[in-house]
Amino acid sequence: MGALKTALFKRVAVIGLGLIGSSLTRAIAAEGLADEVVGFDASPEVRRLAAALPDFGASIADSLESVLDGADLVIMAVPVGAMEGLAALVAPQLKAGAILSDVGSVKGRIIEAVVPLLPEGVYFVPGHPVAGTEFSGPEAGFASLFAGRWCIITPVEGTPSEVVARVVQFWERLGSSVEEMSAEHHDIVLAITSHIPHLIAYNIVGTAADLEEVTSSEVIKYSAGGFRDFTRIAASDPVMWRDVFMNNKEAVLEMLGRFTEDLTQLQRHIRRGDEQALEDLFTRTRAIRRSIVEAGQETEKPDFGR
C-alpha cells in the first residue's frame, strides 16, 4: 500500500540510451515520475537492443522528431562532445514551457554551447548525477543507480526558480540528494573527485601494459596487490571520457598540476628516505576513507565486499 506516485511531467524524452539514459528510463518508470517516458538513440542497433529489453521502462522512438513530440522534459544523455550538435537539432523543436536538461560530467562548456540555441520560453537546467559503473549500453542501466547518490544542478542565470525546483524534485524522486552550485565550481570539484582519478587510473593501466620487464600476464596475475582497483575505472567508456577531458581542460590541467607537484614531493621523500613524512601522509589519508564511509558514500566492507 505504497504512497501514490504522482507524475511530475507529462512526457519525458531521454536522448542517448547508454548506462545513464537507460538507468533514467528504468528509474522514471519505476517511480511513476511521468505519464509517458520515451527514449531515442542515434544508433539503430541501440534502439533495437533497448526495445527488446523487458524492463526498459520507455517506449523507443525511431526519430528525434517523434521522441520530442509533446515532451515537457527532455534529458540529453549523450557524450559531452555530442551535446552541442544534439542541442542544435533538439532546441528548435521544443515548445515553450518545456525544460531541457542533461547529465553531463562537465557543465561550463555545455552551458556555453547550449544556451544560445534555446528558443523563447524554453529553459535549460543542467544537471550531473554523480553516479555510474564501468559498464556501457542500454543493457547496463538499472533503476537504483541514482539512489543514495548526489546530483549537482548548475542553474543558468535568469532561469525561474520554479523551473529549477521541478528538476530538483525530479532528481530527489529518483533517490538523489541535490546540490546547486555554479558551473565553474562544479567543474573544479569534479576535476578532483572524478576526472583526475580517471586520468590517473587510465595512465597507470597504460604504463603497466607497456613494460618490457613485466609481462601483461604477470600484471594480471598479481593485480590483487592494488592494481586491480584502478582497472575498474580505467574500463570506463572511452568516448565519454575522451569528451570529458576535451571539455574540462582548464580545471583538469590545474588539478593535474597539483597532483604532479605532490607526487614529485613524494618521490623526493622516497629517494631521501624521509620515512616520517611518508608515515604522516599515509596516516592522514586513512582518515579520509573513514569519512567517506560515514557520509554514506561507500561500503564499509573490507575490499569493497569482494
Q: Which is nearer to a copy of itself, 157 or 221 (CB)?
A: 221
Binding to a copy of itself in span 166-185, by CB under 8 A: 179, 185
Contact 26, 142 (CB under 8 A): yes
Looking at the chain, the number of H-run helices and the number of E-run strands are 13, 9
194 binds a copy of itself (CB under 8 A): yes
Give residues 20-79 in contact with a copy of itself (rule: CB under 8 A).
Answer: none
Task: Identify whether the C-beta of residue 77 lies closer than 8 Å to the C-beta of residue 90.
Answer: no
Tell me how far apart the alpha carbons of residues 89 and 91 are, in angstroms, rounded to a whole number.
6
Instruction: Out of 77, 105, 109, 122, point to the residue binding a copy of itself (CB under 8 A).
Output: 105
Q: Which of 32, 51, 84, 227 binds a copy of itself (CB under 8 A)?
A: 227
Candidates 304, 33, 41; CA nearest to 176 is 33
Residue (of 73, 116, 135) closest to 98 by Cα position: 73
Instruction: Give one DSSP letter per residue of 53-92, joined into a string.
Output: -TT--SEE-SSHHHHHTT-SEEEE-S-HHHHHHHHHHHGG
Distance from C-alpha of 186 to C-alpha of 251, rounded to nearest angstrom = 10
| Angstrom distance (rounded) from CA 306 to CA 296 | 18
Among 152, 155, 159, 165, binds a copy of itself (CB under 8 A): 152
Binding segment (CB under 8 A) for a copy of itself, from list 23-31, 65-73, 115-123, 191-199: 191-199
- The residue (of 1 and 304) whose beta carbon lies closer to a copy of itself is 304
CB of 30 to a copy of itself, least distance (A): 18
Q: What residues from 117 to 136 belong to the interface with a copy of itself (CB under 8 A)?
A: 130-135
Task: Decide whether 162 or 261 has the Cβ nearer to a copy of itself.
Answer: 261
**Can residue 297 be called a binding residue for a copy of itself (CB under 8 A)?**
yes
* Nearer Cβ to a copy of itself (63/272): 272
Residue closer to a copy of itself (CB basis): 7 or 200 = 200
Phi/psi for 140 (5° steps) reads -85, -20
Q: How far is the CB of 137 from a copy of itself (least distance, A)?
A: 12
For a copy of itself, the binding residues in 238-267 under the rule CB under 8 A are 238-239, 241-243, 245-246, 249, 252-253, 255-256, 258-260, 262-263, 266-267
CB 76 to a copy of itself: min, Å: 19
Residue 235 CA to residue 84 CA, distance in Å, equals: 26
The distance of closest approach from Cβ of residue 82 to a copy of itself in the complex, given in angstroms and rounded to an integer, is 13
Query: What string of DSSP letters covers 230-255?
Result: HHHHTTS-HHHHHHHHHHSHHHHHHH
Per-residue contact string for residues 195-224; x = within reach of a copy of itself by CB under 8 A: xxxxxxxxxxxxxxxxx-xx-x-xxxxxxx
Q: Count residues near a copy of itself (CB under 8 A).
A: 105
Residue 139 binds a copy of itself, judged by CB under 8 A: no
Question: Beta 73-76 vs 9-15: how paired, if at all?
Answer: parallel
Please identify, using beta-carbon distances, which residue of 64 and 189 lies nearer to a copy of itself: 189
Sheet of 127-129: strand order equals: 127-129, 150-153, 177-180
